[in-house]
Structure 1
């Protein structure tokens, strides 16, 4: 990619990620074009070289970008490079979906955009296989380095990935955008943990205008999911109070991701593998831990969230046991 193109994309990335209102206005104009898709794909990678320059004191002039003019101004080599990047990004997204790891699409595109410039004969399906088989991100980075002869620093990757994920809501995590369901609630909670959301009273996942970090208080982690529209990519206000029903003690809880845990004062979301995610006032951010480490005493369901038959059966069983005891 030419220095001119890289500089333009860098300025656009800073602009897009730095101001939510302006980002929305810009994307409305360019989303349907090749360059619009490219900017969406390139912004995270460009931010790698911009992290040291973007802060509260950064002054980024307003940009007026006409996507067609921008694309037309490039030389043929740069256009081809951008087309290749866009094509690879689409191939990665499709392959990640086919391998059942769609939720990691942004991660896969970010790594590709950041480190694969010199990799020859790239195959999206083989690349996606690494994400499907890796047990954790550390193993993933090791496998990518070994497979492609790269030297990606794991700590650098974590810092960059967290920064990028905090700048957006991962559209790839939802399995059913037409309903509010427990599987997507679990994905929402896990994404908040991965994205480094902080704890702040009264927040439900939106970004703070001062430091541009996403926050949620304890109930707000669930309320954020209930109020967020994946289609419109905005937070609504239909749910202002978290309404929940305690269903039974932990020994009666079915192992269904998206069920709530309660300890008498705070809520957590069971995300599978014996782990719970919750926004902690005491530590100041969204955290994850084994359920056994906490003081959780009961499991609960939330109004507005749909649950599978397994949960309905468990609730009925608890109620029947309670009735027989009485």
Structure 2
């Protein structure tokens, strides 16, 4: 069931609009680009449209001119949209400055949903809360800002929102395939609740329209995803890798691969591996579950020099 956090956000913005159904439809089409990186709202289910009093999903293939639409709004409505956009950008900037870009959507979602009665000016201080795990984060936000965020409701909504899009803030370089971004891609799959499907690489599919991936597809999905156009391409359909050594010789560098007789995983740092599990039915993150035996590099991924130094040591018999 869709929880209320995103609906609170929607009602905050929808209140600025008249009851004109066409404007509401157009609003759903453009708000994802207006609120920087927050939600592609036109992907949300019927429960969200109900908050607008409109029961039919809009035709998302219809093109709307954002500038033309905004020009039809009253000055007050334009001011409200501009304020939301400005706050979203301020949060994105603060999260980047704090080294927490991957959590930008989380920070935007909480702010747009629960700070509905007042705006804050210290976005750096707000960003500083996101160094904590999710449970501690919600506790500290509730205490410091006198909020009443229900933890379970937030988690359910956050997973749903993250599953509805690909987090653009996780990439350090949108134009290359590198080990840091491969690790971020895999961590994002866990946070976003991706399921297992033998025929998927991160697309939304099935009865619930949730993102799924096969075991190899977790890696090839990253290689095939164009972060600029936001589509999966036909490149890197097969997974090519080079076995480098036993698992106990693996360098502590995120983005290197691990494998056993049947599965691949990606090391994401901190002693943890992410992989898509047919047994578990989802993307998950324990290190020992897969009984990894060897480590590898993926041929289409660039790695830091420390990885190749380890490979040279292994090839020269120094380990």
TM range (shorter): 0.7 to 0.9
- Cα deviation, residue 286, structure 1: 0.6
Greater percentage in helix: 1
Please name the residue that 1:123 is paired with.
Answer: 122
- TM-score (norm: length of structure 1): 0.83
Q: 1:148 to 1:292 in 2, by over 3 A?
A: same
Please name the residue that 1:297 is paired with.
Answer: 293
Question: Per the alignment, in what secondary structure is the counterpart of residue 292 of structure 1?
Answer: coil
**1:287-326 CA distances to partner (integer Å, 9 max, x unpaired)?**
111x23441111111110111111101111112228x9xx
Question: Per the alignment, in what secondary structure is the counterpart of residue 261 of structure 1?
Answer: strand
Contact 2:163 2:211 in 1 (8 A): yes
Moved more, 2-11 or 199-208: 2-11
Q: Verify: 1:5 aligned to 2:1, yes or no.
A: no
Q: 1:174 to 1:46 in 2, by over 3 A?
A: closer
Question: Per the alignment, in what secondary structure is the counterpart of residue 111 of structure 2?
Answer: helix
Please name the residue that 2:141 is paired with.
Answer: 144
Q: 2:216 aligns with which of 211, 215, 219?
A: 219
Q: 1:305 to 1:46 in 2, by over 3 A?
A: closer
Question: Per the alignment, in what secondary structure is the counterpart of residue 119 of structure 1?
Answer: coil
**1:172-230 CA distances to partner (integer Å, 9 max, x unpaired)?**
10111222111110000111111111111121111226532111100000000111111
- TM-score (norm: length of structure 2): 0.84
Distance (whole Å) between structure 1 residues aligned to residue 16 and residue 38 of structure 2: 18
Gaps of 5+ in 2: 1-12
Contact 1:208 1:215 in 2 (8 A): yes
Q: Verify: 1:198 aligned to 2:198, yes or no.
A: no
Please name the residue that 1:306 is paired with.
Answer: 302
Contact 1:192 1:286 in 2 (8 A): yes
Distance (whole Å) between structure 1 residues aligned to residue 100 and residue 18 of structure 2: 30
Report the RMSD for the aligned CA atoms in angstroms: 2.9
**1:220-270 CA distances to partner (integer Å, 9 max, x unpaired)?**
000001111111111111112111122111211111111111111100111
